């Protein structure tokens, strides 16, 4: 039976989900000619043949010392502009099309955007690239406790957890870069009637999103965590629930997807969903004994990789356990990333091409894993360790850490160092530092913006 989720506009007005734009509630489409960045001359650096731009992109850097974000041109490391943010302690990430820096402030129920100024448009018979100065967008999203922000195939799903104490419920909004530039007021939205710490994965016309059942039925130990996944189809201006996956996923946390599969972290394993014609089917890959009772709570994927990476750790800290998940063979195996002494992983990512898996640790090392074939099976193994800091890591300011961002126009990873107050650009093939951006503040987070060389998953 098809169950229809209607958007309750009264509840939205009360505070379940709000959308703010540029002074009014109407959709405003602003068409601007690309403008030249003052003081910049990229004629020698960029290739504009056939309307395409060859650029390393731009980097958004947030400050650990103030509610500001700065934007750098990665072609010459020049500072393009500094922007005050609406709220402090905003997490920074990239939009689904990499045009915008996304600033999520969970405690303030706010998601804001800065236009990085580089983007590509498909004009049907040709592609056309645009370059202009970065600008703070007037467009913003607002909902109760935005927590998990997921991007895939040009779409970004923002999951709002809601707040039991405030009486607000969970919801999901799906937005793309065109929606942000056009300041679209009415976004595809999935409302719930209860709060939950959930996640949603956009996949074509579908949205795979968590379902929190009544506590008496919920198999999660922590009842605020959902234990089911629903498949919702965008149709006639609303999301319709088409099915609930047949496999339960207690204490569901962590999700990712590649070309063929969606993966979700459960306390008893990894639930993997695969689409067959018009329906999704799911199986459970049991946890391996080496997890020692821990559950995988973070999952990473790439469009060009057949497998997933999962991370299991305790909330109280301690060493994390890395596993590789093979949905084709329904197999999970522990991966030894050979950490340095006292090293604890703080950030993970696939490289842009999916050929490497990267682990940044608190001792100032970037570990690179690569896949190798053994007897017809692919296994990820330690490849190399890159020293990304010459500083004494014991002097790391309290509450701060190294951070990284992947470039999707080159084979470079950017690493921010709060101790040295700079950002390094590291070539993954040569392991060499190819650029150094000095800062006059301690960086809190970084995000790459620009025109991707090819399409990639986050």
pLDDT tens-digit series, residues 356-409: 999 999 999 999 999 998 887 889 999 999 999 999 999 999 999 999 999 999
Polymer length in residues for the chain: 458
Taking only the tens place, the pLDDT of each residue in 75-113 is 999 999 999 999 988 999 999 999 999 999 999 999 999
Confidence of residue 2 (pLDDT cuts 50, 70, 90): very low
Per-residue pLDDT, averaged over 280-286, amounts to 98
Structure tokens at 456: 């990639």
Which residues share a beta bridge with 277?
Answer: none
Burial class from Cβ neighbours inside 10 Å (0-12, 13-18, 19+) for residue 36 reads exposed
Per-residue pLDDT, averaged over 217-236, amounts to 97
- Round to whole Å and give the CA distance between 434 and 75: 12
Strands 189-191 and 171-175: antiparallel
What per-residue confidence (pLDDT) applies to 50? 66
Per-residue pLDDT, averaged over 449-456, amounts to 79
The overall average pLDDT reported for the chain is 89
- Round to whole Å and give the CA distance between 79 and 59: 10
What per-residue confidence (pLDDT) applies to 322? 97
Taking only the tens place, the pLDDT of each residue in 16-57 is 333 333 333 332 222 333 333 334 444 444 444 567 899 999
Which residues share a beta bridge with 118?
Answer: 131
Taking only the tens place, the pLDDT of each residue in 103-133 is 999 999 999 999 999 999 988 888 899 999 9
Taking only the tens place, the pLDDT of each residue in 296-347 is 999 999 999 999 999 998 765 678 999 999 999 999 999 999 999 999 999 9
Per-residue pLDDT, averaged over 201-226, amounts to 97
What per-residue confidence (pLDDT) applies to 126? 86
What per-residue confidence (pLDDT) applies to 278? 85
CATH superfamily of 3-449: YVTN repeat-like/Quinoprotein amine dehydrogenase (2.130.10.10)
First to last CA, the chain: 34
Which residues share a beta bridge with 148?
Answer: 159
What per-residue confidence (pLDDT) applies to 31? 30
- Round to whole Å and give the CA distance between 446 and 359: 16
Closest of 97, 258, 249 to residue 180, by C-alpha? 97
Structure tokens at 117: 């100024």
Contacts of 125 (CB under 8 A, 6+ apart): none
pTM: 0.87
Residue 303 CB coordination number (10 Å): 17
Dihedral sign of CA atoms 235, 237, 240, 245 in order? positive
Structure tokens at 247: 């496999």
Burial class from Cβ neighbours inside 10 Å (0-12, 13-18, 19+) for residue 440 reads exposed
Closest of 267, 261, 265 to residue 221, by C-alpha? 267
Taking only the tens place, the pLDDT of each residue in 134-177 is 999 999 999 999 999 999 999 999 999 999 999 999 999 999 99
What per-residue confidence (pLDDT) applies to 122? 85
């Amino acid at each position: 039976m098809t169950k229809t989720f209607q958007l309750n506009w009264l509840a939205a007005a009360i505070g379940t989900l709000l959308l703010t734009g540029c002074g009014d509630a109407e959709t405003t489409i602003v068409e601007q000619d690309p403008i030249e960045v003052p003081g910049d001359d990229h004629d020698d650096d960029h290739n504009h043949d056939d309307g395409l731009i060859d650029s390393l992109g731009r980097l958004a850097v947030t400050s650990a010392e103030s509610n500001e974000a700065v934007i750098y041109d990665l072609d010459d490391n020049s500072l393009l502009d500094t922007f005050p943010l609406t709220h402090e302690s905003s997490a920074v990430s990239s939009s689904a099309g990499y045009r915008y820096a996304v600033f999520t402030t969970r405690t303030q129920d706010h998601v804001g955007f800065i236009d990085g100024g580089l983007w590509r448009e498909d004009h049907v018979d040709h592609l056309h690239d645009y370059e202009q100065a970065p600008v703070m967008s007037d467009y913003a999203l607002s909902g109760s406790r935005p927590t998990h922000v997921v991007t895939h195939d040009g779409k970004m799903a923002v999951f709002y957890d809601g707040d039991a104490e405030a009486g607000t419920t969970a919801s999901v909004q799906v937005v793309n870069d065109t929606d942000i530039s056009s300041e679209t007021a009415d976004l595809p939205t999935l409302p719930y009637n209860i709060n939950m710490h959930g996640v949603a994965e956009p996949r074509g016309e579908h949205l795979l999103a968590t379902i929190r059942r009544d506590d008496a039925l919920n198999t999660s130990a922590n009842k605020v965590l959902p234990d089911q996944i629903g498949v919702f189809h965008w149709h006639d201006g609303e999301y319709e629930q088409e099915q609930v996956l047949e496999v339960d996923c207690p204490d569901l946390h962590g999700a990712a997807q590649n070309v063929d599969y969606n993966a979700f972290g459960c306390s008893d394993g990894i639930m993997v969903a695969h689409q067959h014609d018009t329906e999704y089917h799911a199986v459970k890959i049991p946890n391996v004994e080496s997890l020692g009772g821990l559950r995988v709570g973070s999952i990473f994927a790439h469009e060009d990789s057949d497998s997933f990476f999962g991370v299991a750790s305790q909330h109280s800290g301690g060493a994390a356990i890395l596993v590789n998940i093979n949905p084709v063979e329904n197999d999970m195996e522990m991966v030894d990333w050979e950490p340095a002494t006292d090293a604890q992983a703080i950030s993970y990512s696939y490289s842009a091409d999916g050929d490497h898996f990267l682990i940044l640790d608190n001792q100032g090392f970037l570990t690179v894993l690569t896949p190798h074939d053994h007897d017809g099976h692919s296994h990820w193994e330690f490849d190399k360790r890159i020293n990304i800091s010459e500083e004494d890591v014991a002097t790391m300011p309290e509450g701060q850490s190294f951070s990284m961002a992947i470039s999707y126009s080159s084979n470079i990873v950017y690493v921010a160092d709060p101790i040295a107050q700079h950002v390094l650009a590291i070539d993954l093939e040569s392991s060499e530092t190819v650029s150094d951006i000095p800062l006059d503040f301690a960086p809190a987070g970084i995000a790459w913006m620009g025109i991707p060389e090819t399409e990639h998953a986050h």
